[in-house]
Amino acid sequence: MRAWRVPFVIGGLARLAYGLGAVLAPEWMGGRVAPTLRNHPDPRMNLRGFGGAQSAIAIYTLTTATTPARARSMLRLNMLVEALDAGVSVLEWRDRGEFDRVAAGGVAFNLTGLACWTIAFAALRAG
């Protein structure tokens, strides 16, 4: 595997793991790496929908980032998703009036994702 591809595989697999966890085990994810669901069907459905979107992005990234040119397109998509998701967590922090564990976790996950995609950008530039 070419070195530039490694962060795409790691980032894609991490996004896929989270996404599939949200789709297949939302109650388990809730309160651990997602907001608590408290056995309510609407937030469970929302978490599953979010997981489905994350899974789709991951699968598309893993299957499309096969050349440097295609990887650049996937890089933009993944960085945009991480930045917007971090922004959502910041908005939630504001609306909650405190930086609680859930909002902090959302920011931390997305900053970790942005770090991964920054490494991918550097790897692509290095060739």
Instruction: Indicate yes or no: pTM above 0.75.
Output: yes
Give every CB contact of residue 32 below 8 A, 6+ residues apart in sequence: none
pLDDT above 80: residue 22: yes
pLDDT digits (tens, 9 = 90+) for 30-59: 888 888 888 889 999 999 999 999 999 999
Q: What are the angstrom distances between the C-alpha of 90 and each of 10, 47, 53? A: 25, 18, 20
What is the residue range of 50's domain?
3-126
Counting the structural domains of the chain, the total is 1
pLDDT above 80: residue 88: yes
